[in-house]
Amino acid sequence: MRVLVTGGVGFLGSAVVHMLHARGDDLHVIVRPSTIASRIGALPEGITVHRADLADPSTASKTIESSRPEVVIHAAASHGHATLSEQRLAAWRDDVIGTVVLLESLRRNLPDLFVHVGSSLVYRPSSAPLGEDAALGPETLRGATKLAAATAVEQWSIESGIRAVVVRPFSVYGPGQDETRVIPVLLRSLASGSAFAVASAESRRDFVHVDDVARCIVMAASQPASEVPVLNVGTGIETSIKELIEMAERLTGRAVVPARDPHPPTPPSRPHWRADPSLASTVLGWTADISLEQGMNMLWRVRP
């Protein structure tokens, strides 16, 4: 397939790109104009790279015209959870305006399929596993922008007649993750002996390895017969931060040094948060292959 991947040097996007490259697809990747050369250099050889601001209609249209993709995988998104006003504005621009401009640019060269990487943060908190029909109610800015972008994708799909799939990952972790996230911070503190602070040891998440998520996205992009518009991607297992710490201590043989003061609360911090991944299993034959313990062990072994 001729595939266009946005956010192709990002944490999840790069994992998708490497999987598509390994099977021989004709790959085009969109990166931000400010992307440093070393990140582009880490991509596999033979990929066409386009520097483009997705929120700029002119550059987005030129990129679509030159790439003419059969499948689009839209993984570009803002970074982390915005706290400052300029960060919040940038998140709306990148996540929502960038998505809308990309969709409009595709109207002249319609693909066969559009796969949108959304987020589980669009759902309202629940103690039950979250299926695709769970109530929507984002509590964070990232959840709100992801929901708005997914709504634009749904409307575009109906109007254009082009099939679109929204993939909603839960708590993705793995190589290349933002070093400020809980698992990299925990492993780094164990390696260095520095103190580790948590906001709530009882907060629970469904941790799913980036390679498993990337594989689900690639499978969704490869099965045009499916008419399922939304797929949740998670393990179906929730792990508390306390359990995560205990697992890391067992794997490393080291003890966490607790910080004197708790970490300030960071979104999302919820007592329950897990996927019901049964639809992805039924439709795609996908299940998570890498357990949290296996994934943590791999990260610990390859640490700097």
| AA letter at 196 | F
Q: Are 224 and 284 in contact (CB under 8 A)?
A: no
CA–CA separation, 281 vs 267, rounded Å?
Answer: 28
Assigned architecture for domain 176-205+236-274+290-301:
Alpha-Beta Complex (3.90)
Domain boundaries, the chain: 2-172+208-233, 176-205+236-274+290-301
Looking at the chain, which runs of residues are DSSP E strands?
2-6, 26-31, 48-51, 71-74, 113-117, 163-169, 171-173, 195-196, 204-205, 207-209, 230-233, 239-240, 257-258
Each residue's pLDDT tens digit in the chain (304 positions)?
999 999 999 999 999 999 999 999 999 999 999 999 999 999 999 999 999 999 999 999 999 999 999 999 999 998 777 788 999 999 999 999 999 999 999 999 999 999 999 999 999 999 999 999 999 999 999 999 999 999 999 999 999 999 999 999 999 999 999 998 999 999 999 999 999 988 788 899 999 999 999 999 999 999 865 678 999 999 999 999 999 999 999 999 999 998 877 776 666 678 899 999 999 999 999 999 999 999 999 999 987 6
> Alpha carbon of 24 to those of 18, 50, 68, 183, 199: distances in Å?
10, 19, 17, 32, 44
Residue range 2-172+208-233, CATH number: 3.40.50.720
